[in-house]
């Protein structure tokens, strides 16, 4: 059929799946491990089974692109003051009720012949990053795992052109996906949305344990890891939960930076107030008390809680105001006062 030929020409066969005997395919991209019937899609909404071949519908279909400060990801211990070329397609494997990018992560139904976005090649993405004098490419705004095939091709080409690769992720990718991504991935910020499985199930449509496992797995693989928790008043900001998150991160590496950021009512969660400055500062204190070396309170420029402070001599090494670095006193990855090596990728 002519329509089907057009369909096949406009998309790309997916990776990390297996054909089943009943016309279904099993997707191994993330921890949903979707079993997808013919002419149906997985939970992400962008991987479709056509006659036992799984296709990515969003290869090269870029719906968002921006030049961002790396601090916006947020990554505070990775190439500070550098610029990153940020891209996204539509789709997500989570259904978070408080998603700040729901217009692209939850786009609703669309046909395979009319996927939102502007077609871009990996060569175009890398060239744009170089032209913009970016030092990295960030796969972000939605869960980048869902556009795995396009991200992978961009990452390979980025490495050949001395660009770093960054994921901003919910951390729900499969072990198979990590095995492919880790050699190409320089840094990742993972949202640890809560330390309760019931939160993940009811708010995000997922499970907690795979995220915890992947934080440890990516750290062990040598990828620079930072973690973000968006604090929702009365939902995931209790003292006990904050301690458990901090204790978990300390058990992996006390030098993992933890960003506690402020919630704003949005999407399907408009019945909660914004996070107060006091709540963010308290969460930061909890994290430091439990043994984390670097805890940052975001979304509140000027509080001083976004500065990088030496764990040993307590001097301010990087002074930030929002996403802007006001002063950087680092000395080749070390404290300029006491010479303590500071964990991160600094150049």
Mean per-residue pLDDT pooled into runs of 10, the chain (347 residues): 38 95 96 97 97 96 97 97 98 96 92 90 97 98 97 98 98 98 98 98 98 98 98 96 98 98 95 93 96 91 84 96 92 95 96
For the chain, list the domains and their CATH numbers. 2-56 (no CATH), 61-305 (3.20.20.70)
Phi, psi of 245 (to 5 degrees): -60, -50
Contact (Cβ atoms closer than 8 angstroms) between residue 287 and residue 239: no
How high is the pLDDT of residue 37?
Answer: 97
How high is the pLDDT of residue 10?
Answer: 52
CA–CA gap between residue 283 and residue 339 (Å, rounded): 28
How high is the pLDDT of residue 298?
Answer: 81
């Amino acid at each position: 059929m002519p329509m089907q030929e057009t369909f096949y020409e406009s998309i790309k066969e997916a990776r990390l799946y297996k054909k089943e005997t009943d016309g279904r395919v099993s997707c191994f991209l993330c921890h949903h491990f979707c079993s997808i019937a013919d002419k149906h899609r997985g939970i992400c909404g962008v991987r479709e089974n056509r006659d036992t071949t799984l296709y990515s519908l969003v290869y090269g279909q870029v719906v968002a692109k921006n030049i961002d400060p790396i601090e916006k990801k947020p990554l505070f211990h990775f190439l500070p003051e550098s610029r990153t070329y940020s891209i996204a397609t539509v789709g997500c494997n989570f259904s978070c009720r408080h998603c700040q990018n729901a217009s692209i992560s939850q786009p609703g139904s669309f046909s395979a012949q009319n996927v939102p976005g502007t077609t871009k090649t990996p060569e175009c993405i890398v060239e744009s990053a170089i032209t913009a004098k970016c030092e990295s490419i960030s796969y972000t705004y939605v869960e980048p795992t869902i556009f795995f095939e396009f991200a992978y091709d961009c990452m390979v080409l980025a490495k050949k052109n001395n660009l770093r690769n960054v994921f901003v992720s919910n951390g729900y990718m499969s072990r198979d996906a990590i095995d492919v991504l880790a050699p190409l991935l320089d840094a990742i910020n993972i949202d640890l949305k809560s330390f309760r499985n019931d939160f993940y199930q009811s708010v995000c449509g997922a499970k907690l344990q795979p995220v915890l496992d992947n934080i440890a797995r990516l750290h062990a693989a040598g990828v620079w890891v930072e973690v973000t928790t968006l604090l929702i008043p009365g939902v995931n900001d209790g003292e006990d939960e904050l301690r458990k998150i901090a204790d978990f991160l300390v058990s992996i590496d006390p030098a993992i930076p933890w960003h506690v950021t402020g919630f704003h009512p949005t999407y399907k969660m408009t019945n909660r107030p914004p996070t107060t400055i006091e709540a963010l500062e308290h969460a930061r204190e909890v994290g430091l008390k439990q043994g984390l070396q670097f805890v940052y309170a975001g979304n509140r420029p000027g509080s001083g809680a976004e500065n990088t402070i030496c764990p040993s001599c307590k001097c301010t090494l990087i002074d930030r105001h929002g996403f802007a670095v006001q002063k950087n006193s680092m000395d080749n990855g070390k404290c300029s006062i006491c010479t303590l090596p500071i964990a991160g990728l600094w150049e």
